[in-house]
Structure 1
Amino acid sequence: MIDTLAKVFLNTEKTYQKEALMLVKREGQYRPISTAEFSQRVRNISAGLRALGLKREDKLIILSENRPEWVMVDLAAICLGAVTVPIYTSLTPQQIRYIINDSEARFVVCSSPEMWAKLEVIKPELPLVVRYIMIEDLAPAGVLPLKEVEKEGEKENQQKPEEFEKIALSIGPDDLATIIYTSGTTGVPKGAMLSHYNLVSNVLALRSVIEFTNKDTALSFLPLSHVLERMCTFAWIYVGATIAYAESVDTVAQNLVEARPTIMVSVPRLFDKFYARVIDNVLSSSSLKKKIFFWALKVGRKHAQKKINKERISFWLKFRYRLAYKLVFSKIVEKTGGRVRFFVSGGAPLSRDIAEFFYAMGILVIEGYGLTETSPVIAVNRLEDFRFGSVGKIVPGVEVRIAPDGEIWARGPNVMKGYFKKEAETREAFEDGWFKTGDIGYLDKDGYLVITDRKKDIIVTAGGKNVAPQPIENTLKTSPYIANAVVVGNHRKFVSALIVPDFDKLEIYARENNITFANRQELIGRPEIYEFYMTEVDRLTPHLASYEKIKKITLLDRDFEIEAGEMTPTLKVRRKIVEDRYRNLIDSMYAE
């Protein structure tokens, strides 16, 4: 029985020998890494770490961008019984210092001189760290290049060929595999302790409801520090699927075309941007092309609805859809590489409009739901059983209860062991054996889970009405002119919004309408721009109840930033920080 991540690795190296288990961009083109090479490198790194003194239950930090070596180091440490602690590369040196010290890490692996620069300034404040290792070869004094670790490991494996497997098979399903620090939209990060079986159970549950095989290729670009990408990586390895690594978030569009994946996991922000880019291209095209596009979209939506409702599709509709696909959709699908079977969206709510737009073109985006603490998937839509606007049905083995106040509680083999060294916070997170997610939602009559919002984010107006800001914000962000939005109005008479314009598109609009401006601040201060955005907000939100309607807006001259603490590394807005930072602007919207 496969019940540990070590057994996942051992099974894959025996069962799925292939020329391209991984694809990595080198010298301008994707090159394969075979199962044999991957397996040997994991074994050598593991033996090398063992020779350097990494022991069972020791903590090892990984501070690196997505790359094959990230996964190799992760599995090498895990197969030793050590515990890996991933850190987002976007974090500041002070945030990195906190995680290294709080996790009591003894080994730190970083990717490059750029990441080492963050470590070097805090090195004197890391008393427990005994070894620094760099994946790239240009390691400074006192830092060991990974290839040296591998060389030492190769010798170890030659002298003790049975040792790796002996240790790997001694690991139990309840043993700690990783500590993942929640990026946290509020407060100090907490280290969620996930066991081997927490993650393996989620892999097995996902595999039982969604088909993915060794014939699939997945594009990896969501940071491996994110629990969703990490668990999915274990899932792809479990079935021997090929993993292609995007060079960066900025090159995803290009890498999609080059790697031609069948699956990709993402957060909604990528789908929002893809949608905005398509609409932007359409709006800037000729009137004939616009007419053809919106005709095709109308046909695509009708065709999609028939498929969802499992209704008979007439010959005439099939014919029109084939024509729409040939004239319009095929050109858009080509930009994804042309082979995509499905996309996965997680980490934040996906706008229903965006999901329906993709499905009209023949691309299914399945939305799921979970948290770091649940390894992560609690619910997911299936390829043949999905409902847009929901996060799907509960995965096998997991139970969900809706508390009296609407909070979602979960129980199952995927739920964490607790927060590292934080017993009070762990006790607070559970009630009668149920993990309290902090999300508000409900199960519909057919068993699909619908998320309303984060419990702590619900706005209660001065009139006592509850307003969920996230669905409204997701709707606003479907506008090509809106890059970001935060809805406010807690204990206020009405709801307002902070809006970050998409300045590239706004500046084009201003020039086309002879609106002069010297800089962004002047542009967003123009009354006609304010009116334009209010009209756009009203256009997008006719479905809102009167108490949910956005009565006023404030335009901001820059987007929220990770470095400024306004967003988490997974691009979620830290609402409290944003509201505190823009308190004066918010107050001015409510001045009598």
Structure 2
Amino acid sequence: MRDFSVPAGRPVNRADLVPVVARERAAESPCTIPFEHYHDGAWRPVTMGEVVRRVDEIASGLVASGVRPGDRVALMAATRLEWVLVDMAVWTAGAVSVPVYPSSSAAQLQWILEDSAARVLVAEGDEHAAVVAAAEVPATCETVVYLDDGGLEYLEERGHDVDPQVLDDAIANLSPDAPASIVYTSGTTGMPKGCVLTHANLLAECHGLLDHPIGTVGRSGNKTLMFLPLAHVLARSVTYTMFLGGATTGFWADTSTLLPRLADFRPHMILGVPRVFEKVRDGIAAQARAKGRIQQEIFGRAEQVAIDTSVARGGDGLGDGREPSLLAAARYRAYDLAVYRAVRAALGGRCEYAISGGGALPDRIAHFFRGLGVPIYEGYGLTESHAAATVNGPGCQRIGTVGRPLAGMSVRIADSGEVELSGPLIFSHYWNNEPATAEVLRDGWFSTGDLGELDADGYLRITGRKKELIVTAGGKNVAPGPLEDAMRSHRLVGHTVVIGEGRKFISALVAVDEEALARWAEENDREGVPPEQLVEDPALRAEIQYAVDEANSLVSHAEEIKKFTVLPRDFTEARGELTPTLKLRRHVIDEVYAEQIEALYR
């Protein structure tokens, strides 16, 4: 058993609590700008004084609606300023927030409301009203308000007669060890479980990131644009890290129009999941192809030079101190003028680095962005560890790993190969679920369900998911993750699901990227041909076969993909095939595509 620990960070006390810090800063520096929101075609600053005023008004409205310290308040909305205001207001009232993904179904919402016994639900608009109408809202949820229908104004009006001393008392009695949130897992294998996370968990995460080399962007004057769902513990943790560090966070929910907002908000840091960065790279490549073969070839060469430059620097980004040759330096400068500067400009022009979580970042993508001057630092964590438990950063990056533990955290690899975590980030228990808690929390260690390796310097590498491990009929253990990640790097591939449990060989469902498929059809004079026919085209299947061969080169013969089926559309969250963080829901995919899977083994 290998383990690695990092000394404890700064201690957490009541003065560090988010509502306490907010009030203190509003009194001392009311004109500082913690947030910005996009309104009427421009970014509008929101001062600390305004934040605290609105938070107190909303909190008073919650109190007037019957919310008492310890009660739960559910929040279902897209990424926007009001989400954070409500979240902070719940804490100001001494209550516990229950984030709900905005894409949740009626059944998921109903389960969370029932399980948490939330007294109030704050939702967004007409789309959520339809979800609420389809759910059987339990009697414990006495109030439902909608942000787009004057919900906050209703709460603020309702709270006018609440004595301000009520809020003062609630904050005075708030303990770091008190529950801050019940955050439900994304449910890749069943009904979500509610992770009870304390204020101390949140503060350990925020302080750990700020004290890490990656926390340099959290200082005053820097900005980050938040577009991941705030219901996800990573997005929420980074938002409060920026808040406590004195930086400014902007909010944007529509990822299809993200590039214009990056250009005008000009963030110093971007937080994303691997698929976001893959899409950015694919979009740049598509633009080059659209300009003709010469531009396509220039991009291809520039990409390889960026990757080669990063690889030459070494896995930790520091290299061996050797200067590049004059020819290599000249080549890099040429591509910097022709390609890299345009990419950096598309990200706002002053992005120092990006952070990736929620899944494995392909090494090629990591090297590409680092080579062009915007390194992506990959981290690792779960809802149960309040987001990042380990992370890479400036001067401490090893591509292919998820970094070293944050302050106070310990990581060990059990004899089974499973990653186990211990420290101040780890959740206290699953809400109303003692058996599930006992299954993963033992002797102060949390069993993550992930498989991994630790190197001598404490850098963690995730090699697979224990529950996803495939055992073939021949007894071979196959981790699907490396194959799926390698396949996803091909421009035509959206997602891949590796199949083989109890089977004679490994096979795969390959779901195409629909935008890339349309571009491929244009390039190959197949415009107008239905996707169902395109995926049977020998030329397209040859390209997919190339991606399969590249992935197979990474594994042993027994682990190779022997057969595959190409699906004419990608998996989506709307159809329940992906979680809100774009992870595969394998049990759903297995059911939906049972016929195609069986056909692979006939």
TM-score by length of structure 1 reads 0.93
**One-letter amino acid of the counterpart of residue 307, structure 2:** R
- Secondary structure of 1:272's match? helix
Alignment of 1:293-312 (within 5 A): 293-304=299-310, 305-306=312-313, 307-312=317-322
Q: Secondary structure at the match of 2:411?
A: strand
- Equivalent residue number for residue 98 of structure 2: 85
Aligned to 2:560: 549
* Aligned match for 2:207, one of 192, 199, 204: 204
Q: Secondary structure at the match of 1:367?
A: strand
1:167 paired with 2:157, answer no
Q: 2:449 aligns with which of 438, 445, 448?
A: 438
CA change 1:348–1:50 in 2 (3 A) is same
Cα deviation for residue 303 of structure 1 reads 3.3
1:313 to 323, 329, 351: 323
Contact kept in structure 2, 1:213 and 1:241, CA below 8 Å: yes
| Alignment partners' CA distance in 1, 2:26 and 2:32 | 12
Q: Which runs of 5+ in 2 are unaligned?
A: 1-12
1:96 correspondence with 2:99 = no
**DSSP-derived class of the 2:535 partner:** helix
Q: Which residue of 2 aligns with 1:333?
A: 344
Q: Return the offset for 1:563.
A: 3.0
- Cα distance in 2, alignment partners of residues 581 and 413 from structure 1: 40
Q: Is the 8 A contact 1:494 1:551 kept in 2?
A: yes
Matches within 5 A, 1:202-281: 202-209=205-212, 210=214, 211=216, 212-281=218-287
After superposition, the Cα gap between the structure-2 partners of 1:565 and 1:507, relative to the gap in structure 1 and judged at 3 Å, is: closer
Take 2:55 and 2:520, find their aligned partners in 1: how far apart are those partners? Answer: 53
User: What is the alpha-carbon distance in structure 1 between the residues aligned to residue 280 and residue 154 of structure 2?
Assistant: 42
The one of 41, 48, 58 aligned to 2:61: 48
Match of 1:459 among 452, 461, 470: 470
Aligned residues: 581
Q: 2:413 aligns with which of 402, 411, 414?
A: 402
- Give the aligned partner of residue 386 of structure 1: 397
Quick check: 1:57–1:81 contact (8 Å CA) kept in 2?
Answer: yes
Does residue 192 (structure 1) correspond to residue 195 (structure 2)? The answer is yes
Kept after mapping to 1: 8 A contact 2:496/2:510: yes
1:4 match: 17
Q: Does 2:139 correspond to 1:127?
A: yes
Give the distance between the partners of 2:268 and 2:527, measured in 1 at CA: 46
Cα shift readout 1:179-210 (whole Å, capped 9, x = no counterpart): 01101211111100001101111111111112
Identity of aligned residues (%): 34
Change in CA separation of 1:286 and 1:511 when aligned onto 2, cut-off 3 Å: closer
Paired AA for residue 254 in structure 1: P
Give, in angstroms, the shift of residue 527 of structure 1: 4.1
Separation of aligned partners in 2, 1:479 and 1:302: 19
Secondary structure of the 2:446 match is strand
CA displacement, residues 58-82 of structure 1 (integer Å, 9 cap, x when unaligned): 1101011111111111111112210
Offset at residue 514 of structure 1 (A): 4.9
Deviations 1:152-187 (A, max 9, x none): 44554xx53x54334213211111110011012111
| AA in 1 matched with 2:457 | D
Quote the Cα distance in structure 2 between the aligned partners of 1:292 and 1:132. 55
CA positional deviation for 1:515: 5.3
Query: 2:228·2:253 contact (CA, 8 Å) conserved in 1?
Result: no
Q: Determine whether 1:60 maps to 2:60.
A: no
Q: How much does 1:53 deviate?
A: 2.1
How far apart, CA to CA, are the structure 1 residues paired with 2:418 and 2:271? 26
**Structure 1 equivalent of residue 571 of structure 2:** 560
SS of equivalent residue, structure 1 residue 308: coil
- Contact kept? 2:483, 2:551, Cα under 8 Å: no
The reply to whether residue 178 of structure 1 matches residue 178 of structure 2 is no
Give the 3-state SS of the residue equivalent to 2:358 in structure 1: coil
What displacement does 1:319 show? 4.4
Amino acid corresponding to residue 284 of structure 2 in structure 1:
V
Number of the residue aligned with 2:37: 24
Aligned to 2:377, the other structure's residue is in SS state strand
Which residue number corresponds to residue 587 of structure 1? 598
Distance change (3 Å), C-alpha of 1:534 and 1:315: closer
Partner-residue secondary structure (3-state), 1:577? helix
* Alpha-carbon distance between aligned partners in 1 of 2:527 and 2:143, rounded to the nearest angstrom: 58
1:374-414 deviations in Å (ceiling 9; x for gaps): 11221000111101110000111111121110001111111
Deviation at residue 320 of structure 1 after TM alignment: 3.8
Q: Which residue of 2 aligns with 1:497?
A: 508
Change in CA separation of 1:265 and 1:550 when aligned onto 2, cut-off 3 Å = same
Aligned equivalents of 2:296 and 2:29: distance in 1?
47
Q: Alignment partner of 1:447: what SS?
A: coil
Return the letter of the residue paired with 1:564: R
User: Structure 1: how far apart are the matches of 2:161 and 2:248?
Assistant: 29
Tell whether the 8 Å contact from 1:351 to 1:471 is kept in structure 2 after alignment: no
Going from structure 1 to structure 2, the CA distance change for 1:326 and 1:155 (only over 3 Å counts) comes to farther
1:39 pairs, out of 45, 52, 60, with: 52
CA distance in 2, matches of 1:579, 1:310: 47
Q: Aligned partners of 1:504 and 1:111: how far apart in 2?
A: 29
Kindly indicate whether residue 374 of structure 2 is the aligned counterpart of residue 363 of structure 1: yes
Q: Over residues 66-115 of structure 1, what are the superposed CA-to-partner deviations in whole Å (9 max), with x where a residue is unaligned? A: 11111111111112210100111111112111111110011111122322
* 1:537-564: CA deviation from partner (whole Å, max 9, x where unpaired): 2245433322222211101122223233
Aligned residue for 1:536? 547
Q: Which residue of 1 aligns with 2:356?
A: 345
Greater CA drift, 392-401 or 515-524: 515-524
1:103-142 alpha-carbon deviations (Å, 9 max, x no partner): 001111112232222213335x421112222223x35xxx
Distance 1:491 1:260, change over 3 A: same
Question: Could you tell me how far apart the structure 1 residues matched to 2:294 and 2:500 are?
Answer: 43
Query: 1:172 is matched by which residue type in structure 2?
Result: S
Q: Is 2:414–2:420's contact at 8 Å kept on the other side of the alignment?
A: yes
Residues 409 and 436 in structure 1, CA contact (< 8 A), matched pair in contact too: yes
Provide the residue aligned with 1:142 in structure 2.
none
**How far off its partner does 1:291 sit?**
4.1
CA distance 1:15–1:321, shift in 2 (3 Å):
farther
Relative to structure 1, the CA distance from residue 11 to residue 313 in structure 2 (aligned partners, 3 Å threshold; closer, same or farther) is farther
**2:120 aligned to which of 107, 124, 133:** 107
In 1, distance between residues paired with 2:293 and 2:550? 22
8 Å contact from structure 1 (residues 12, 240) kept in 2: no
> What is the deviation of 1:12?
4.2
Aligned-pair CA distance for 1:33: 1.1
Report what 1:322 is aligned to.
Answer: 333
Structure 2 CA distance for partners of 1:257 and 1:541, relative to 1, 3 Å: farther
CA distance 1:230–1:512, shift in 2 (3 Å): closer
Mapped to 1, the partners of 2:57 and 2:525 lie a distance apart of 65
Distance 1:391 1:247 in 2: 27
Kindly indicate whether the alpha-carbon contact (under 8 Å) linking 1:3 and 1:197 is maintained by their aligned counterparts in 2.
no
One-letter amino acid of the structure 2 residue matched with residue 188 of structure 1: M
Q: Secondary structure at the match of 2:583?
A: coil
Aligned to 2:85: 72
RMSD over equivalenced CA pairs, Å:
2.1
**3-state SS of the aligned residue for 1:525?**
coil
AA aligned to 1:546 is H
- Secondary structure of the structure 2 residue equivalent to 1:232: helix
Which structure 1 residue ranges, 4+ long, deviate > 6 Å from structure 2? Answer: none
Q: Any stretches of 5+ residues in structure 1 without a counterpart?
A: 140-144
After alignment, is 4-13 or 82-91 more displaced? Answer: 4-13
Distance 1:116 1:300 in 2: 48
The question of whether the paired residues in 1 share the 8 Å contact of 2:27 and 2:49 is answered with: no
1:372 aligns with 2:387: no
Give the equivalent residue in structure 2 for 1:480. 491
